[in-house]
Amino acid sequence: MTVAASVEFILGGQRSGKSRCAEGRARAWLQQPGHEAVLVATAQAHDDEMRERIARHRDDRVSRAPGLATEEVPYELPAAVRRLNAPHRLVVVDCLTLWLTNLLMPMRGSSLDDGAWDAQREALCHALDAARGPVVLVSNEIGLGLSPMSPEARRFVDALGHLHQAMAHRASRVTLMVAGLEVKVKEMPA
């Protein structure tokens, strides 16, 4: 397993400041001449509350990170990372948790089996290993609580934990967000 020097992994709980931190990375990147940034949004709006939440996040991004483009990619994340990544473009993925939800606990349709999920996770790892430009990954740290009661929820928590481990091993920087504060977990020299 290789460490992709241009990957940062930002983890935290709900409302910990993960997205705001990632937007800050994009804002700083965009201040350099010739740089672009795109947010790969994995959320899907299946109800009115989620539609409002997505719209609010979109509006907040415009004010916090002007120039940050958005692409909605609920399923084909590895392909999007490969397609969008370039030396002059920062790719922000927000978030891995919702991507996994779309694949393992979809609102409509059937979930991926373990083999298909493993292939998706490995495809994302390969896309990150081949990255030519910076990537910022955002995800929810949900493994600190009680073990879920249902087999489906336990499968999800286990899959997310394995995904997080794979991302952290590849990242040169891992940041844990706690109450809006950045806690350095891993930082390799540039």
Using CA atoms, how far apart are residues 165 and 173, in angstroms rounded to an integer?
13
| Nearest by Cα to 135 from 176, 78, 189 | 78
Decide: helix, strand or coil at residue 148: coil
The whole-angstrom separation of Cα 63 and Cα 101 is 28
Active site includes 57?
yes
Q: How far is CA 154 from CA 138, 159, 173, in A?
A: 21, 8, 28
**In the β-sheet with 181-187, what is the strand arrangement from edge to edge?**
69-72, 36-41, 89-94, 135-140, 4-12, 171-178, 181-187
Q: Is 48 exposed, middle or buried (0-12, 13-18, 19+ CB in 10 A)?
A: exposed
First to last CA, the chain: 18
Q: At what angle do helices 48-64 and 18-30 cross, to 10 degrees?
A: 40
Out of 35, 57, 88, 169, pick the active-site residue. 57
> What is the set of active-site residues?
57
